[in-house]
């Protein structure tokens, strides 16, 4: 279609409309979805996240079912999906049309929130409504009446189905529109229908509706006002069409829109659960009740709308492709992977197509996760990224991708795939492009690390196969690899099950796939038990503070103020009065105390209640912590030291000035440290956490290696140079977008509103920050790095001191140095040299002692040679002895001496108890014994288990250890019996 034939909006979007390959014209409009794999009722209908403000559009006053031209500035598509050719709507265009449609109806378009949620109940952002959870709970006031967004989401509970069904994905986008007590069912239903039929051009006769079985209101709106025939509206039970957040809390009925791929089958006995015919693409949640502890429902005072439309699903329908993977949102990644593997997607078999789909899906997930600051590790979110990366790597290797596909077999291929994902990211998340370097670097490092792990897995597989063959030979059974071993290879080493089975078959070993499936199911259950549902609850805490206003913070300008007590809590329960000796939580209308946030700890200090005209204090409360709760309400936690306090009393609040100064110095020093890090090791380094305490700071950052001493010295020098420049800080409040445009850095974990506070050290640092800071860098006095270490894969931590803590630290260390100089009788500058000399002398002494011990062990061994037992028929000479308290090195020397002294064939097994509850074991076999099929490594490892340990080594020599010396005699007796039996039965 020519651009001139498009509507005004479509012409605006025409540069984004992609043209799919001609081959797609031949594909049937089928989307096959497995009914049993549909999302659970509790997670379905969670729309996408939104966060800004907007005003009612004049269109809101027009008829709810008016045509698009009369109710919105966004014009409908000129052709219906039933007749439009593939490629008319790109994924970007579908997303943009959704957002513009709701923006024209008064919704504020908000950006997608991070995949790392500001919510402890979920590991990753799994739904669009997540960032609105505090609003839905009434814990935060709404900042907008209604909003719309396209939210990045991650779900991994069905990861094994990715690529195997038409719709399962780990990464997806959820388009959503939300109302926070503004509009409700009538508008939500009307707009959803208008969007689907007029904007996207879906034929009305192909759309079916589901409603909750008791929701007559929704049924009547769909039938009487929208005009959907009764036979295409299905009433469904609570399992499918009633959304709950948990045992208690907000809940309500759902209504879903389905697309019918085969309307010619008619409406008689049609089943919306038939995923070969229908696909659900839009879910409307009417959040109108609060479920109480007794299970009863009470109407919510503020009724909300939460919707979700899967972008990939809508693209699948509109672009007329058989599955979500072949939409233009994912297919370019698949095409890149196919070209790297030198295969044709069109001609590939189902197995290769499945692998290519897995690659396409997982690459999107890992790129966006890393962009949002999630670094591969073995815990939490980091493990999710690591697992996905490993699945991509082993899947790519399975279809023949090796090295960097440019001739370097030792290189990495993930960066090439990631480049495609980044090129598709502009409309989803423009920040991804700016993080390109760090994303590609992290993927390259993780891939190369994993390839080494895979190679170790290959070695382990060889050992396991050898052991299976040996055990089968000894027992007369058919060799088999256990399900646990196969799972170990798969889960720990990322070794593909298919390759394990293939290699095992070549060696004549079967694989216990049933046992493997059991292990996989156990892991799947554990994975699904993780955070995959957004939990909402309306609990006692909401009731307690519902009448308490937000706290006015005065602490930027003053460390003391008068205030009124608005509420008191003891053990979580509201009270009117609290007496001396009680721990209490106090709510004030205003306060100079800083509440913990942005990494900075809460202030300490005192609250005073005046006794009257005599100036005496009737009550004193020591405050030892201040936290934020339910939005912007400050909770002052402390102990009543004197008197009693009651609600409504006026108090004088006083912050501990010395501690506050410490926090200010460390907070400003943290900003300087981040700037110095970016200057020294690279701008792609980003914050991953922080702690600003009164006496030290802790700064976590993303980086792939330890910092060198030279780098640490340079960073420290830079910070101290900026401190010495005595630069005045500047703080201002501005619009969030203006701050970002100015280059302000957001602090990790902070949640920002429309207006933000910006803290600037001119020429050095510019950050969004609500914390307290010094007015001039000279107040920091000095800065010293205490330590730098890794705390997780790709995450480093610097601990440092500033201000008074810096002075204290330097003084204490100076005292230590004075004492050391006195003890060594040298000057401070000569300490290193003197210590090196002492260490060298110590090493020499230890070597001499070790040598003497080895000689003693050899002398003991000389007397054992005569005790050797000769075993027929091969005349193998065997020595099995307890060497007493000989250490591991001495035991090794003794075994080497004996195996050389005894004639081949010979076998030596020695044990000792060197002290500290330790056991040492060594086995040495001569060449002829090894040729019999005996291996020292496996033999000594089995014996060591009796002593509570393990070990291994080469076929001819191995060492092991344990922690149960009391079992050593028994272990050696078993060793004697087993070695004699083994060589006696061997006739070769």
Which residue ranges make up the annotated binding site for Zn(2+)? 667, 671, 769, 773
**CB of 173 closer than 8 Å to CB of 312:** yes
d(CA 388, CA 376): 9
Are the beta carbons of 587 and 633 closer than 8 angstroms? yes
3-class DSSP assignment, residue 610: strand
Query: Residues 30, 31, 32, CA angle at the centre, nearest 5°?
Result: 110
Q: Which of 899, 708, 881, 683 is nearest to 785 (CA)?
A: 708
Could you list the residues known to form a binding site, using ranges. 667, 671, 769, 773
Beta carbons within 8 Å of 317's beta carbon, 6+ residues apart = 29, 31, 81, 202, 259, 279, 281
CA distance 570 to 621: 14
3-state helix, strand, coil in the chain (%, to 5): 40, 25, 35
C-beta separation of 96 from 45 below 8 A: no
Instruction: Give the CA angle between residues 914, 917, 918 to the nearest 5°.
Output: 50
Query: What is d(CA 103, CA 547) in angstroms, rounded to the nearest whole number?
Result: 34
**How many Å apart are CA 704 and CA 504, to the nearest integer?**
37
Helix (H) or strand (E) holding 875: none
Q: SS3 of 788, please? A: strand
Residues 6+ apart with CB under 8 A from 642: 580, 617, 618, 619, 620
Please provide the distance, in angstroms rounded to a whole number, between the alpha carbons at the two ends of the chain: 82
3-state secondary structure 329-377: CCHHHHHHHHHHHCCCCCCCCHHHHHHHHHHHHHHHHHHHHHHCCCCCC
| Tokens at 517, concatenated | 């499936």
DSSP annotation of 864 reads T
Query: Quick check: 453 and 393 in contact, CB under 8 A?
Result: no
- C-alpha–C-alpha distance, residues 6 and 774, integer Å: 58
Supply the DSSP string of 481-510, one letter for each residue.
Answer: E-HHHHHHHHHTT---HHHHHHHHHHTT-E
C-alpha to C-alpha distances, 131 to 151, 152, 534, 940, nearest whole angstrom: 10, 12, 10, 57
How far is it, in rounded angstroms, from Cα 682 to Cα 684? 5
Residue 192 near residue 284, CB atoms below 8 Å: yes
Chain position carrying tokens 């109480």:
292
Contact 220, 189 (CB under 8 A): no
Q: Determine how β-strand 278-291 pairs with β-strand 249-260.
A: antiparallel
- Tokens 């469904």, residue located: 236
Nearest to 312 by CA among 287, 333, 329, 295: 329
- The answer to whether the bond into 70 is cis (omega within 30° of 0) is no
Secondary structure of residue 617 in the 3-state scheme:
strand
* β-pairing verdict for 795-802 and 577-579: unpaired
Determine the Cα–Cα distance for residues 888 and 913; give it in Å rounded to an integer.
9
At residue 259's C-alpha, the angle toward residues 286 and 200, to 5°, is 85
User: What letter does residue 548 receive in the DSSP assignment?
Assistant: P
Q: How far apart are CA 734 and CA 737, in angstroms?
A: 8
């Amino acid at each position: 279609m020519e651009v001139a034939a498009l509507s005004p909006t479509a012409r605006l979007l025409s540069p984004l409309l992609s043209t799919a390959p001609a081959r797609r014209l031949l594909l049937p409009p089928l989307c096959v979805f497995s009914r049993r794999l549909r999302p659970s009722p509790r997670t379905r209908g969670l729309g996408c996240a939104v966060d800004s403000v907007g005003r009612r559009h004049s269109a809101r006053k027009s008829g709810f079912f008016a045509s698009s031209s009369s109710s919105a500035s966004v014009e409908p598509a000129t052709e219906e999906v039933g007749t439009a050719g593939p490629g008319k709507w790109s994924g970007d265009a579908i997303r943009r049309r959704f957002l513009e449609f709701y923006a024209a109806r008064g919704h504020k378009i908000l950006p997608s929130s991070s995949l790392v949620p500001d919510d402890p109940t979920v590991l990753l952002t799994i739904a669009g409504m997540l960032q609105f959870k505090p609003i839905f709970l009434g814990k935060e006031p709404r900042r907008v009446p209604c909003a719309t967004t396209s939210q990045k989401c991650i779900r991994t509970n069905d990861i094994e189905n990715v690529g195997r069904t038409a719709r399962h994905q780990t990464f997806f986008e959820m388009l959503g529109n939300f109302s926070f007590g503004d509009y409700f069912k009538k508008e939500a239903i009307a707009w959803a229908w208008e969007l689907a039929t007029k904007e996207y051009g879906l034929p009305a006769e192909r759309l079916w509706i589901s409603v909750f079985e008791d929701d007559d209101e929704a049924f009547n709106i769909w039938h009487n006002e929208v005009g959907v025939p009764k036979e295409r509206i299905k009433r469904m039970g609570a399992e499918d069409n009633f959304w709950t957040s948990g045992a208690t809390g907000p809940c309500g009925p759902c209504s879903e829109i389905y697309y019918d791929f085969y309307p010619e089958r008619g409406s008689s006995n049609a089943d919306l659960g038939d995923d070969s015919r229908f696909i659900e693409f839009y879910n409307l949640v009417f959040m109108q009740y609060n479920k109480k502890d007794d299970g009863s429902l009470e109407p919510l005072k503020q009724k909300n709308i939460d919707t979700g439309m899967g972008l990939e699903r809508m693209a699948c329908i509109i672009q007329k492709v058989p599955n979500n993977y072949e939409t233009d949102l994912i297919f370019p990644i698949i095409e890149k992977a196919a070209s790297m593997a030198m295969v044709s997607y069109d001609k590939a078999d189902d197995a290769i197509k499945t692998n290519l789909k897995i690659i396409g899906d997982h690459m999107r997930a890992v790129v966006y996760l890393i962009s949002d600051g999630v670094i591969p590790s073995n815990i939490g979110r980091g493990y999710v990224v690591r697992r996905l990366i490993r699945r991509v790597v082993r899947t790519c290797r399975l279809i023949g991708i090796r090295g960097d596909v440019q001739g370097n077999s030792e290189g990495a291929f993930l960066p090439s795939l990631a480049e495609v994902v980044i090129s598709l990211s502009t409309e989803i998340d423009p920040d991804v492009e700016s993080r390109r370097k760090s994303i590609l670097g992290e993927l390259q490092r993780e891939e190369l690390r994993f390839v080494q792990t895979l190679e170790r897995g290959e070695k382990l597989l060889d050992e396991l196969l050898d052991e299976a063959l040996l055990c089968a030979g000894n027992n007369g059974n058919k060799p088999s690899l256990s399900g646990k071993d196969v799972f170990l290879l798969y889960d720990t080493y990322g070794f593909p099950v298919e390759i394990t089975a293939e290699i095992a078959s070549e060696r004549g070993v079967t694989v216990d796939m049933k046992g493997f499936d059991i292990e996989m199911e156990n892991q799947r259950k554990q994975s699904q038990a993780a955070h995959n549902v957004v939990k909402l609850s309306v609990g006692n805490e909401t009731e307690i503070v519902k009448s308490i206003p937000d706290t006015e913070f005065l602490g930027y300008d003053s460390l003391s103020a008068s205030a009124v007590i608005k509420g008191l809590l003891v053990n979580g329960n509201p009270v009117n009065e609290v007496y001396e000796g009680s721990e209490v939580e106090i709510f004030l209308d205003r306060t100079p105390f800083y509440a913990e946030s942005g990494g900075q700890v809460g202030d300490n200090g005192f609250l005073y209640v005046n006794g009257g005209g005599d100036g005496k204090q009737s009550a004193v409360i020591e405050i030892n912590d201040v936290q934020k709760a339910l939005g912007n309400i400050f909770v002052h936690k402390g102990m009543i030291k004197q008197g009693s306090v009651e609600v409504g009393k006026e108090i004088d609040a006083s912050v501990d000035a010395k501690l506050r100064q410490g926090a200010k110095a460390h907070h400003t020093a943290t900003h300087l440290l981040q700037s110095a890090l970016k200057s020294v090791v690279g701008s792609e380094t980003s914050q991953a956490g922080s702690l600003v305490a009164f006496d030290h700071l802790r700064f976590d950052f993303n980086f792939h290696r330890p910092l060198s001493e030279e780098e640490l010295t340079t960073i420290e020098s830079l910070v101290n140079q900026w401190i010495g420049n005595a630069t005045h800080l500047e703080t201002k409040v501005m619009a969030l977008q203006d701050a970002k445009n100015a280059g302000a850095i957001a602090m990790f974990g902070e949640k920002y509103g429309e207006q933000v506070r910006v803290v600037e050290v001119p020429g050095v640092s510019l950050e969004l920050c609500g914390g307290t800071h010094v007015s001039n860098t000279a107040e920091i006095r000095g800065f010293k790095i205490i330590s730098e270490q890794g705390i997780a894969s790709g995450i480093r931590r610097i601990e440092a001191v500033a201000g008074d803590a810096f002075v204290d630290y330097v003084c204490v260390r100076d005292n230590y140095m004075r004492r050391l100089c006195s003890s060594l009788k040298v000057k401070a500058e000569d300490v290193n040299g003197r210590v090196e000399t002492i260490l060298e002398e110590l090493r020499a002494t230890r070597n001499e002692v070790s040598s003497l011990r080895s000689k003693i062990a050899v002398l003991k061994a000389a007397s054992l040679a005569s005790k050797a037992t000769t075993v027929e028929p091969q005349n193998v000479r065997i020595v099995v002895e307890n060497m007493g308290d000989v250490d591991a090195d001495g035991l090794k020397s003794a075994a080497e001496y004996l195996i050389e002294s005894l004639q081949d064939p010979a076998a030596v097994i020695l044990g000792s108890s060197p002290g500290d509850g330790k056991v040492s074991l060594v086995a040495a076999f001569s060449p002829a014994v090894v040729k019999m099929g005996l291996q020292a490594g496996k033999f000594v490892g089995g014996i060591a288990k009796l002593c509570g340990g393990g070990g291994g080594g080469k076929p001819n020599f191995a060492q092991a250890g344990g922690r149960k010396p009391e079992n050593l005699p028994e272990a050696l007796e078993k060793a004697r019996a087993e070695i004699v039996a083994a060589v006696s039965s061997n006739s070769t």
